[in-house]
Structure 1
Amino acid sequence: MKRRKAVDVRPKILFIRFVFIIILVGLVGRIFFLKVAKSAEYESKAKTQQVSRYDITISPNRGAILDRNNQALAVSTTVYNMVLDARNLSKAKESEQEKTLKIITEHFEELDYDTLKQYITINPQTQKPNLDTHWKYLVKGIERSEKEELEAQGLKGIVFEQSTKRSYPLKTLACHVLGFIRGDTQWGIESMYNSYMTGMPGRSFMTYDGGNMAVHKDYNAQDGNTIVTTLDYTIQQYAEDAVAEVAAQWPSENVAAMVMNPKTGEVYAMADSHQFDLNHPSEPLELQNEEFKKDWEKIDADSKMEYLNNTWKNFNISSTYEPGSIFKPLVVAAALEENVVSPSTSFYCSGVTKVYDRDIRCHLRSGHGAETLEDVIANSCNMGMIDIANKMGRKLFYQYQKEFGFGEKTGIDLPGEVSASNLMYSEERIGPVELATMSFGQSFNCTSIQILSAFSSLVNGGNLMKPYVVSQILDTEGNVIVENKPQIIRKVISQKTSDIMREQMQATVERGTGKKAKIEGYAIGGKTGTAEQGNRSSNSQWTLSYIAYFPVEDPQYIVLTVIHRPSDYVDGVQTPSPMTKKLIENIIQYKNLEPSYVVEEEKSKTTAGKVKIDDYTGESLYNVLGALDSKGIGYKVVGAGNTITNQAPHGGAEIEVGGQIILYVKKGEDEGGLAVPNVVGKKYEEAVTALNDMGFEVETQGDT
């Protein structure tokens, strides 16, 4: 028997074991890779699949904006967005689908039944609805009552997502300060403090297991912080009313007003005649006018946007103009500080002076004659200011112009402020003519907030303060997380100089160019301004201003009013004095401010008695009429112009209180026409009487 050869199977077994080990190691490695290296990715995908059916972002309430007394200026209210769950609705009964679509399309005209029906129709190829999603926005911004009404009707496949809506209960009030955010368009506090008011969104979602709901989780939104402004709603309303009245009376490129605390820089009011409704900023208020509406519909989108941008722009911080005579006290203060002049320095105004080849005139063509420093301010004398500027020299003049903040931003916490640095002469470019004209506020530009801040330093002890409109930011618990406090930018003049200026500028209101804003019993100081702008050939190239502070002994308020480029300007007619006076009177009454002094009985009466008439020959009609009003003397104007050439009775004569003086006038060189009294709103008889008293012959047309 033949013996078989033995076969060694061990190598095969070893090979099989080796292959098995390799496969096992590979499987273990793959499992490890998937478990460790890819776990986060797959876990994320799993979670995404779970929550894809319902995942709602809960919008936080944007922080409110309040005035200094907690009056709501901007608030956020809860609204809802209606969302279509196409996948869910496609699984509902046909009758439920039709009921739901019918209800929502009848309730919202913008929704189309056939379009929505197409969304939920099952595609035969994919066996899924044509709109294969759980989340399709249909309508946004639904009020709670409307949402509850719809929910009560048993809708299927409709979800209501909670959201917020910004609203401004006072509509146009402080619109340029509050501002708004619409996409890339951002203005005011809403823009400046956006990050504080935004808040953190929350989330509400449901996870599913095999199509059945397993877990419902909510993460609450964190509401935004509350902004407390320095604005005083009541003073803001007074300012806006005053601006609106003047804008209606004298059509102008702009009319504006501001009220600030000169010691702290807190802005109490900031008003602008180009108002808009913050709830609908892209809809001009002028659309209420049918003619404007027709023109608006004809212009292209770019023209509309240009118009809107001009409306939204904050005149008080973004527009510049030559300040004119309200700049004069700043020059006087600088000269006093450097001992270039003193309160006892004397001046002489002849009405005109020659600087190189140019005749520069005072507004009183015949001249003011001999003057004190106080007279120069009260009379707003150009000749006196030129003399002071020449004594200072251009280096010192330029130094203080910069020290008072001109050519730099004030730093107010609002977007859009301009510095106007490109509209000022550098020191080396200031020649004799430039120095002369700059001394009375011409030949350079500034913003209203710059002049208000600079002027505040004259009366607050010499400190240039940083103006601000937000005082505090509060969290949702009412805790103060940010607080803005008064900030001194720099010391410009001494307390001594400030005290002198504060007292001397009272003369402007008591007896000078600003006496139309005088309020008996209250010590008010200030300065008027009438500045030519750019092209001197047009009657609409003027800016009229009045800056006033009170009480003089301890200023708590400083007011700036501006009429920018009034149409058909006539000297002595358009003036911000009445609006300034009315605004101050309202603040005094609102704050119940005590009088600065007791009015003497004989001065307060306008009953029987005689008064001595001054010699008004050569003076400005505009200045004289205010003086006559204060004495209770009537007047009749004969001729055309603003320079008084004769009068009856003559100077020195006595006249009964309530009597009349005749003033003969003529046009001075480069002078406009006679100041025509405003008779808008008066009865026919009253209007004719007023015009006749001024020496006008009245001819009427149409119905009277």
Structure 2
Amino acid sequence: MYNLILDPKLVLSDEKYKEPTLNALVQCFGLNRQELEQTLAVKKDSQYERLAMGLTSDEIADFKALVADTKNNPNIKGVWFENSYVRKYPFSTMACDVVGFASAANGGELGLESYYDDELSGTDGVSYSYVNDNLDVQETTKDAVDGNNIVTTIDYNVQRIIEKHIAAYNEEKPSSATAVLVMNPNNGEVLGMASYPYFDLNNPRSLESSYSQEQLATMSDEDMTNSLYKIWRNYCISETFEPGSTFKPFTVASGLEEGVTYDGDVFYCNGYEEIGGYTIRCHVYNKTGKHGDITLEQALMQSCNPAMMDIAARLGGVKFAQYQRLFGFGSKTGIDLPSEENGIIKKSDMSETDVATNAFGQNINVTMIQMGAAFSSLINGGNYYQPHIVKRIEKDTGEVVKTFEPTLVRQTVTASTSQLLRKYLKSTVDDGLAKKAGVTGYSIGGKTGTAQKGKREDLKWIVSFIGFAPVDNPQVMVYVLIDEPDGTTGTSGTTSDTLILSHDILEELLPYMNIFKDAEAEPVDAADSEDENTVSITVPNTNVQDSTSATP
């Protein structure tokens, strides 16, 4: 690629150069004659003015032919072409919002390209001359310095697997967004991170993969800009949402740590709770009416809202808020990617209703990376590691410049609580509401979640599953989220889609990662297993006008 450079000082050094040079520039490159005249007038002493960037050999061929014809065009002077290098992305859309892209004009503009721009960009070489005090011409050359290389934690095959299944799902059932996060729960390494829709890193400003020509024709410039920002947005770190029931393991863990509940405790689910002037239902209210007596383990397996509200009430707003902060909610994780969001949590001013709804993951906003890092600490023995995506920085020779070791930030829970949570979450996949995520021969633990997004009356939903394997020694954490899945915008729908997508990913991912089968080889029969529903399950108390939405 080439940049078109004008030397105004040379063009103006002889009056016979100006007209043929400007005519050639207008003819070959379609430049504005008036703007060229303005450049010569304002920058008459300059020897370097960039007129165009990123030109191909074909685009400069006609001009070079004119210059070469010195018989007919002897006076085209003061124009030259500067070599310009363009970064190519051989994997096109793979890990697009993680890798990001760079341009000659702006450097790194997204993802790792932006975050590590200073490491990657290097320094251009330059040659220049000047006249010293003795009127001798001195030539000086500064060699170009190559940028460094970065080695990421992303595993090519893990990324390929999750992107393949995301694309297959959305081909059949388009969603507003689908995102998957895969981490090593024992050191904070991100092994895979993807969010749909994808875009081509080699043509990042094209919307043709996401919109039809008819749609593009009706878009204003502002519409197009907003649409680009939307597809460039890394859902896993930049989108905040209410997690729903995937938050319940944190409520249980907080209660166990604080000693307000114990393994074997029995709760009573009446199908609803009257709290703060609201009637907040359990998800079984419209089916069986209530769970009745239910143990702590069963409360997680069956996603019982009243049991979670009971635990949170015992904790109290101040203590519950402290545990939320301990798990990292409300703060950036510090992952080495730009545009990470904080999420939103209440501080110590939680109302009675806030405590109740936070217990099952509503009225609290989180990011996927926050959930992934916090959940990893729940299952690995209680160690919270800062998530990271770069292993090391190297020179082009392979010499290591910097290595990034795992960063242990704090302990969130004790080993005994972690062990108990793993047992409960295994039961949730084996015999609870997450059974469809199970994979034959593997011990898997996890929790489903559904949550309303935006205005409650819009009836839009996010469904998700967060899980891990193997249960006794977790080696991989997987978080799968579908934003507005097909068929769930309205008054009905289930978590079935996210469970099936999670199953399909895990079924291919676990053998690739050399995770050995450690469970009975009986085929997992989940055809008739119960799912969490996205039916609105809260009604206003007869004494008040508003209601608080709650989902399993």
Shared fold (TM-score, shorter chain, > 0.5): yes
User: Among 101, 114, 123, which residue is 1:180 paired with?
Assistant: 101
Q: Is the 8 A contact 1:286 1:292 kept in 2?
A: no
Q: Is the 8 A contact 2:199 2:209 kept in 1?
A: no
Counterpart for residue 86 of structure 2:
165
State the superposition RMSD in angstroms: 3.9
Question: CA 1:419/1:141 → structure 2, altered by over 3 Å: closer, same or farther?
Answer: same
Counterpart for residue 494 of structure 1:
414
Cα offset, 1:381, TM superposition: 1.3
**1:141 and 2:62 equivalent?**
no
**1:467 and 2:413 equivalent?**
no
Question: CA 1:596/1:288 → structure 2, altered by over 3 Å: closer, same or farther?
Answer: same
Counterpart for residue 290 of structure 1:
213
Output the CA distance in 1 between the equivalents of 2:198 and 2:533: 35
**1:484 and 2:404 equivalent?**
yes
User: Among 272, 285, 291, which residue is 1:368 paired with?
Assistant: 291
Question: CA 1:84/1:419 → structure 2, altered by over 3 Å: closer, same or farther?
Answer: closer
Cα offset, 1:523, TM superposition: 0.8
Cα offset, 1:534, TM superposition: 4.0
**1:202 and 2:125 equivalent?**
yes
Counterpart for residue 350 of structure 2:
429
Question: CA 1:81/1:319 → structure 2, altered by over 3 Å: closer, same or farther?
Answer: same
Q: Is the 8 A contact 2:450 2:533 kept in 1?
A: no
User: Among 146, 152, 161, which residue is 1:238 paired with?
Assistant: 161
User: Among 580, 591, 605, which residue is 2:502 paired with?
Assistant: 580
Larger RCO: 1 or 2 (CA < 8 Å, sep 6+): 2
**Which 4+ residue blocks in structure 1 deviate beyond 4 angstroms?**
84-92, 97-102, 114-119, 130-139, 142-154, 181-185, 206-209, 212-217, 667-671
Question: CA 1:213/1:153 → structure 2, altered by over 3 Å: closer, same or farther?
Answer: farther
Total equivalences in the alignment: 517
Q: Is the 8 A contact 2:22 2:36 kept in 1?
A: no
C-alpha deviations, 1:144-201, integer Å up to 9, x for none?
A: 7998999799837564423321222222222221223566793322221112222222
Q: Is the 8 A contact 2:392 2:403 kept in 1?
A: yes
**1:385 and 2:308 equivalent?**
yes
**In structure 2, what residue type is equivalent to 1:189?**
L
Question: CA 1:101/1:234 → structure 2, altered by over 3 Å: closer, same or farther?
Answer: farther
Output the CA distance in 2 between the equivalents of 1:557 and 1:543: 23
Counterpart for residue 244 of structure 2:
324
**1:589 and 2:476 equivalent?**
no
C-alpha deviations, 1:83-137, integer Å up to 9, x for none?
A: 4567879999x9xx999998x988x55469x999999xxx9xxxxxx98875554
C-alpha deviations, 1:365-415, integer Å up to 9, x for none?
A: 222233222211111111221222233233322221111111111111112
C-alpha deviations, 1:488-536, integer Å up to 9, x for none?
A: 1211111111111112211111111111111010111110001123422
Output the CA distance in 1 between the equivalents of 2:536 and 2:229: 41
Q: Equivalences for 1:686-701 in 2 at 5 Å? A: none
Q: Is the 8 A contact 2:318 2:350 kept in 1?
A: no
Counterpart for residue 48 of structure 1:
none
Match of 1:521, SS state, is: coil
C-alpha deviations, 1:257-311, integer Å up to 9, x for none?
A: 1111111111111111132222232222347622122112xx1x33332232222
Match of 1:625, SS state, is: coil
Counterpart for residue 476 of structure 2:
557
Counterpart for residue 229 of structure 1:
152
C-alpha deviations, 1:341-360, integer Å up to 9, x for none?
A: 22222223232233354322
Who wins on radius of gyration, i.e. which is larger?
Answer: 1
**In structure 2, what residue type is equivalent to 1:399?**
Q
**In structure 2, what residue type is equivalent to 1:539?**
L
Q: Is the 8 A contact 2:3 2:54 kept in 1?
A: yes
Match of 1:218, SS state, is: strand
**In structure 1, what residue type is equivalent to 2:101?**
F
* Greater shift in the superposed pair: 447-456 or 83-92: 83-92
Counterpart for residue 532 of structure 1:
452
Cα offset, 1:226, TM superposition: 1.0
**In structure 2, what residue type is equivalent to 1:303?**
D
User: Among 315, 319, 331, which residue is 1:408 paired with?
Assistant: 331
Cα offset, 1:326, TM superposition: 0.4
Match of 2:419, SS state, is: helix
Question: CA 1:208/1:142 → structure 2, altered by over 3 Å: closer, same or farther?
Answer: farther
Cα offset, 1:435, TM superposition: 1.7
Q: Is the 8 A contact 2:245 2:448 kept in 1?
A: yes
Q: Is the 8 A contact 2:251 2:359 kept in 1?
A: yes
Output the CA distance in 2 between the equivalents of 1:82 and 1:202: 17
Match of 2:218, SS state, is: helix
Counterpart for residue 353 of structure 1:
273
Cα offset, 1:668, TM superposition: 10
What TM-score does the superposition give when structure 1 sets the normalisation length? 0.65
Match of 2:529, SS state, is: helix
**In structure 2, what residue type is equivalent to 1:563?**
I
Identity within the alignment, %: 34
Counterpart for residue 609 of structure 1:
none
Match of 1:268, SS state, is: strand
Q: Equivalences for 1:499-510 in 2 at 5 Å? A: 499-510=419-430
Match of 1:537, SS state, is: helix
Question: CA 1:387/1:89 → structure 2, altered by over 3 Å: closer, same or farther?
Answer: closer
**In structure 2, what residue type is equivalent to 1:547?**
I
**1:268 and 2:186 equivalent?**
no
Q: Is the 8 A contact 2:242 2:453 kept in 1?
A: yes
For structure 1, the residue ranges without an aligned partner over 5 or more in a row are 1-78, 124-129, 607-622, 629-640, 644-666, 672-704
Q: Is the 8 A contact 1:539 1:568 kept in 2?
A: no
Output the CA distance in 2 between the equivalents of 1:275 and 1:668: 31
Cα offset, 1:249, TM superposition: 3.5
C-alpha deviations, 1:424-453, integer Å up to 9, x for none?
A: 22223332x322221111121111111111
Counterpart for residue 249 of structure 1:
172
Question: CA 1:437/1:109 → structure 2, altered by over 3 Å: closer, same or farther?
Answer: same
Q: Is the 8 A contact 2:280 2:538 kept in 1?
A: no
Counterpart for residue 545 of structure 1:
464
What TM-score does the superposition give when structure 2 sets the normalisation length? 0.82
Question: CA 1:574/1:378 → structure 2, altered by over 3 Å: closer, same or farther?
Answer: closer
Cα offset, 1:251, TM superposition: 3.6
Output the CA distance in 2 between the equivalents of 1:319 and 1:111: 42
Q: Equivalences for 1:301-320 in 2 at 5 Å? A: 301-320=221-240
